Amino acid sequence: MNPGKSSQKAALAKSAGSNLHRKLAQSIGNQILSGVYAPGAILPNEADWCRIYGASRTTVREAVKTLTAKGLLKSRTKIGSRVEPRENWNILDRDVLAWHMTSMNPQEFFSSVQEVRKILEPEIAALAALNRTPQQLRAITEAFEHMRKAKAGLNSVAPDVRFHLALLAAANNVFLTPFGIMIEAALTNMFEFTSTHNPEPDMFIPKHEAILKAVTRGNAKAARKAALSLLTDTDHTIAGLPAKAKKLKKA
Amino acid sequence: MNPGKSSQKAALAKSAGSNLHRKLAQSIGNQILSGVYAPGAILPNEADWCRIYGASRTTVREAVKTLTAKGLLKSRTKIGSRVEPRENWNILDRDVLAWHMTSMNPQEFFSSVQEVRKILEPEIAALAALNRTPQQLRAITEAFEHMRKAKAGLNSVAPDVRFHLALLAAANNVFLTPFGIMIEAALTNMFEFTSTHNPEPDMFIPKHEAILKAVTRGNAKAARKAALSLLTDTDHTIAGLPAKAKKLKKA
DNA sequence: AATCCTTATTTGTATGATAATTTGGCCAGA
DNA sequence: TCTGGCCAAATTATCATACAAATAAGGATT
């Protein structure tokens, strides 16, 4: 291994996950998502990355293959690796979303997310009311009970996420499941804000309960309405945030 | 390279793309999506794959990294590679969707897709009406003109896809873009059916035109309505299909 | 000016060796 | 018998090196 490249390797140390190729993928992925390498740009070649990170070509190539599989890159002989256009990026991939969020304006993130949530989650709730299996209903119910017990605070985030994911699963449509990643990221990061600013954290419990009851009764219309109502409240909570944005943590 | 493994390697030859690691990824990916290896199952280890495909470990590992990056696998030392639960699969990844479709009932595919399209596309059209840039409007318009010129037939598929993707892009929300893959796959494969059975192929043109006009005028409500109307027609076309399912082609 | 050929660059594949991780069993001691 | 820790084996992780294949770019030839 080539010593004397401590600057780049120090940045690597922060990246979690013990695998070196994973760290490289994270580092390069972050650079792409943050715009250091724009779509269409040619990345440093494999030999360069080896020098930069002090890693073997095998490892570098595995990192590149990871990014290629996520739609960020495409490699061609004699050309090198070129950054793909944004519409090819698998933004609903857990890693890609995390990288995206580290270099994104939180305001913009929440507004985009809420826009999509308001489109999808009411319909997800409606579908869940119609298509849920008994087992899926039980999962939703359990998540809600945990939410209620935890009340507000850090402990309520995990059950909250579980509630929404269980609802999503109960919709029983494969093409909706990818949104779980986005919902999870949204709720987890929202806590960073709402926990301190939300004047009435417990008001969310009845809203969730309304969804649960509608889904239990199989009332799609009521489920849709309840889900939308919850999201509208969430909107207001977000709108009450201070303008200066904290830095988002990754999912 | 080890000769005498012609059976597995023959299956590989069919896979497009000149890269060997890509072919391996496709082959293994197809096996996972088709249920040969179910979620939770341990895959053959790297040495096994080497024997099976007659490839080097380097290549096998790159294929495995590709699948890991798409959420299909997770590797751990001493354990091997385990198939991840379905909710972690990046189903909106181009490759994963293609693998999924080769082993999926077309009826089920279209019904799932249409369910999601009816949720999203009206809202996408509405957002496009509100958020489109002049350039994006031009892209939509051009796609429509090409559709009109091509009339029905094979040539109309590409502009049709472009129209819907341009609309999607004009919605200007990153978290919606992943659906482009799904829409593209749906429209492309739908042609296999509608081209022969649709009694009035040209009736789709006015429907698309209605969307275009609404988006041009910036009328979100009208755009929403027109998009939904088009999708309802598509539903009817699909419903008129013969019950016996043809085999889907990959995206 | 156009065509072909050569060369250089970069990714793709193979091989073999060593490191790191962690399961599972073995063994010692309480 | 139970408990704890230690050892060994299996598997992925990383490295180093070499050669193959593809192809862009430039040069030679007509």
Looking at residue B203, what is its pLDDT? 79
B33, B37, B41, B45 alpha-carbon torsion, rounded to 10°: -110
B58, B65, B101, B228, best to mutate vs chain A, most A CBs in 10 Å: B65
Separation of alpha carbons B134 and B139, rounded Å:
9
Torsion of CA A71, A73, A74, A80, to 10 degrees: -170
Share of chain B above pLDDT 70, in %: 84
Does at least one atom of strand D sit less than 7 Å from the CB of B47?
yes
Q: What is the pLDDT of residue A246?
A: 45
Task: Tell whether the model's pLDDT for residue B143 goes beyond 50.
Answer: yes
Taking a C-beta distance cutoff of 8 angstroms, is the pair A97, A90 a contact? no
Which strand D bases fall within 7 angstroms of a protein CB? 9-18, 21-24
Cα(B91)–Cα(B80) distance, rounded to whole angstroms? 23
B-chain residue closest to A63, CA distance:
B65
Comparing CA positions, the residue from B118, B86, B82 lying closest to residue B99 is: B86
B10 touches chain A (CB under 8 A): no
pLDDT for A244? 42
Query: How large is the C-alpha radius of gyration of chain B?
Result: 21
Give the closest-approach CA distance of B80 to chain A in angstroms: 15
Distant-in-sequence, close-in-space partners of A46: CB < 8 Å, separation ≥ 6: A57, A60, A61, A64
The three-class DSSP label of residue A206 is helix
| Residues A62, A57: Cα–Cα separation, whole Å | 8
The verdict on A224 touching B (C-beta cutoff 8 Å) is no
The answer to whether A169 touches A139, Cβ cutoff 8 Å, is: yes
Distance CA A179, CA A194 (A): 22
Q: Has residue B202 got a pLDDT over 80?
A: no
Residue A10 pLDDT more than 80? no
Shortest-distance nucleotide from A74 CA to C1': C11
**Residues of A with CB below 8 A from B29's CB?**
none
pLDDT single digits (tens) B58-101:
999 999 999 999 999 999 999 999 999 999 999 999 999 999 99
- Output the pLDDT for position A245: 44
Q: Which residue has the tokens 């082609």?
A: B249
Looking at the predicted structure, is the pLDDT value of residue B204 above 50?
Answer: yes
Q: What is the pLDDT of residues A121-138, one digit of tens each?
A: 999 999 999 999 999 999
Average pLDDT over all residues of chain B: 89
> Once rounded to an integer, what is the mean pLDDT over residues B231-239?
87
| Cβ–Cβ contact B192 with A under 8 A | no
Q: Is the dihedral of CA A148, A149, A155, A160 positive or negative?
A: negative
| pLDDT range class, residue B150, cuts 50, 70, 90 | confident
Residue A151 has pLDDT above 90, yes or no: no
* Average confidence score pLDDT of chain A: 89
- Amino acid B87 CA to nucleotide D13 C1' distance, rounded Å: 27
**Paired strand residues for B75:** B81
> What is the pLDDT at residue A236?
84
Q: Which nucleotide is nearest to B22 (CA to C1')?
A: C12
pLDDT at A16 over 80: no
From the Cβ of A21, is strand D under 7 Å away? yes
In a mutational test of the A interface, the residue from B90, B127, B181 whose CB has the highest number of chain A CBs within 10 Å is: B90
Instruction: Give CA angle at A33 (A92, B82), nearest 5°.
Output: 45
Tell me whether B70 touches chain A (CB under 8 Å): yes
pLDDT score of A67 more than 90: yes
pLDDT category of residue B176 using cuts at 50, 70 and 90 = very high
Q: Which residues pair with B80 in a beta bridge?
A: B76
Nucleotide nearest to B75 (CA to C1'): D12
CB A173 within 8 A of CB B112: yes
The mean per-residue pLDDT over the stretch B178-185 comes to 98
Q: Is A69 on the interface with B (CB under 8 A)?
A: yes
Confidence of residue A192 (pLDDT cuts 50, 70, 90): confident
In whole angstroms, give the CA distance from residue B171 to residue B165. 10
Average pLDDT over residues B205-220: 97
Long-range contacts from B119-122, C-beta under 8 angstroms, 24+ separation: B119/A119, B119/A120, B119/A123, B120/A119, B120/A120, B120/B176, B120/B179, B121/B164, B121/B167, B121/B183, B121/B227, B121/B228, B121/B231, B122/B223, B122/B224, B122/B225, B122/B227, B122/B228, B122/B231
- pLDDT value, residue B244: 42
